Amino acid sequence: MVSFNIALKPDHVGIVVLYIHGAKDLPQWPNMTRTGWDMDPFVKVSIGEEVKSTKVIRHKLDPVWDEELLFHVRQQDLQVPIRLAIFDWDRFTRNDLVGLAEINVTEWAASKGPNTALHPVDLPSVLDFNDLLLTKNPDPSRAYTRTPTITFRCVS
């Protein structure tokens, strides 16, 4: 028989798993030598003070990460949004913000069953992938006309 012991700290109220599938329509920014374009995207996700990142995918405007990020949610984290930010990785300079999106933890949290702490088996609205439009980088030197999106799903 398999038994699980998941012990949360006293201030933790649950766990959120974010599946970061990919992004689409990222901008073509000039490379450092201005001889072409370069985009090496990665996603940085934060819930409260906890921050996690996906791997960097080199030279892609429509990257696919297919990564799972697990977060322990504390009571105070319920008051702040989950922040998903896509950055362009740079070897020699700061990483550049491509765009960001915010989602509310409580909007995406599935409700537990009335008699158990388990989620129902059928969670189509939560388990389906969602496309979220990114708010673009406000820096005028990084302006672009594309409409980048991030594809993810969230399970709590």
d(CA 32, CA 128) in angstroms, rounded, equals: 38
Which pLDDT score is estimated for 17?
87
Token pair of 148 as six digits = 């980048």
Q: Would you say residue 62 has pLDDT above 50? A: yes
**What is the predicted pLDDT for the residue at 2?**
60
Residue 124: which H helix or E strand, with range?
helix 124-127
Handedness of CA 22, 99, 55, 18 (dihedral sign): negative
Q: What is the pTM of this model?
A: 0.78
pLDDT at 8 over 80: no
| Residues sharing a CB contact under 8 Å with residue 41, sequence separation 6 or more, in sequence order | 23, 26, 56, 57, 60, 63, 86, 87, 88, 89, 98
Give the domain ranges of the chain: 12-155
Which of 81-95, 116-130, 132-146 bottoms out in mean pLDDT, i.e. has the lowest? Answer: 116-130
12-155 homologous superfamily: C2 domain (2.60.40.150)
From residue 56, alpha-carbon distances to 37, 38, 49, 88 in Å are 16, 13, 22, 9
What average pLDDT does range 91-104 have in this prediction?
A: 89
CB 2 within 8 A of CB 144: no
User: For residue 140, is pLDDT > 80?
Assistant: no
Instruction: Pick 25 or 144 by higher pLDDT.
Output: 25
d(CA 86, CA 139): 15
Mean pLDDT value across residues 5-11? 66
Closest CA to 65 of 57, 76, 74: 57
For range 110-131, the mean pLDDT: 55
What's the pLDDT at 4? 56
Does residue 116 register a pLDDT over 80?
no
